[in-house]
Structure 1
Amino acid sequence: MKKMTIMLLVATSLLIGCNPFVDDGYDIEGKNIGMSQMMNLITVFVEDNINGTDLEQTHFDRFYTDNFSVPDGTYEVEAYHVYITKDTKVIDDETGEELDVYLTSHDIIFNNRTEYLRSFYSGSGRAISVKVEEKFEPQVQTDRSNYILYDRNFLPIYTAEEIRVYPLTFDDFLFSNSYRGVDSLVIAIEEMEYEVYSNEYHDLQDQYWYELHQIQGNNNSDYYTGVYLNTIEEFELFNPPAEYKQYPIYIIFEESQLVTHKHDWKEVLEYFENK
């Protein structure tokens, strides 16, 4: 743990001035990496011995490569499961508004979730602070065999008394979309006349995917390109820069990096046709 402590002290000194957290008696300060194992249970990542307080989207089969330099069984991470009850007070740090993020079975079955709820539970890596009901004891998990994004078993679990939610950033958007098991990825953000996850929504997503793969098939490309639709409302929760707020917009990632964006679907097809 000495190496991890030294690294984190250095990281902390470099990040002074950009720390989003409010020093108000919270027990856990970290990044919400989304729903875990059961409804209303999220995982909060604090730090590890790879990137300190930063998260990295990577596939589990690349975990023990030179990208990480962490031998099998030596991964260390501080992270917690946090259970949200009907009584948990959730505060938007920017507005002071109290939020209702408690999910019911009805919400899950009928997909009765707002853009805000989807972003809260999706694992965007947004900063949050948590005050717990139980006596809190910091705990670093040692000798783990896989990265926190792919293995959340046996983490300490606490009940949230209060959660403070900090604004999403464009970096959170990049993190949550930088790797989804594909070589390249197109996030399509446009005005929708239908419900998210409706048949029409899936039909359009499938249409975009089909058109891209027609091109890649003709080019005998070994690349696989994923396509995901996003609403403007949900995208703007991430506070994107002005240059990304002209719609429709199609944001293209390759090998985990944002490489370009287009405002016309035909330009997206042309981009991949010329690869």
Structure 2
Amino acid sequence: MTLLEAPVLDRRLSLDPPPRRSRRPIRFLGYAALIVAAAAILLPFYWMLMSSLKANNDVYTIPVQWLPDPVVWRNYLDIWQKSDMTTWLVNTLILSVAVTFLQVLTGSFAAYGFAKIRFPGRNVLFLAYLGTLAVPWQSYMIPQFILFSKLHLSDTRWSIIALQAFGAFGVFLMKQYYESIPDELLDAARIDGMSEYGIYRRIMLPLSVPALASLSLLTLVTTWNDYMGPLIYLRSRDLWTIQIGLKTFVNTYNAEYALIMTGSVLSVLPIAVIFLLGQRYFVEGIASTGLKG
């Protein structure tokens, strides 16, 4: 090595990045925080499951019994014998599936018009429609009930279906996803002579499976857990959903808390199974909704 090459070598050595410090402590703290957050979220569900296996007097004992002693498996038999659980689950399933199908259909179709079709006043109309999300349901609940009563829809399943068949949130969610699909793809289909209905059915829907899955799951969970709507419109016992039916275990002088927890577990179980089966599409749809390409 000559004397002229030494400064160059020293300069190269000085430009090398410093050794990377270990990130294991930071990663460990992140995992620990996630575990604590997950435990805090799952704790109420664990307590609900354990309470469904207790005797009625042991549900609210102090100190809290985190493990049932003794385990009362008979609660899962008594709830079918003491209530119309089958009718409640069937009614809830019918309403949830019908509302989810209609809201996905109407939301995705309207979102296609707002995202990919140009017409005068499109942005103003979309903002006005989106502004309905800011209006609380309680503000127009009574006029809506009077209208449905005059239309003879009260005390029928059609009242809940008509009430929730359209939603601005679904339109907003699908519009954001549609905007990530290139317009050149649709223009090529129009040049080939495909109609707007054909583009929606054969191009947009197949490319929007993650967003459709996300909207379906959110709508299904919301309709399945709805309490106020069925409470107001469904007065006949043969039309009650599971959320309304569980209140029959509460009377003036006593409440069968163990059976309430058992019914709650049976109510949560179908939603949990559906979420686990569609988790990949749900996460992908939520993650890509706000992206534009």
The TM-score with structure 2 as length reference comes to 0.23
Q: Which has the higher helix share?
A: 2
The TM-score with structure 1 as length reference comes to 0.24
Higher RCO (C-alpha under 8 Å, 6+ residues apart): 2
Q: Which has the higher strand share?
A: 1
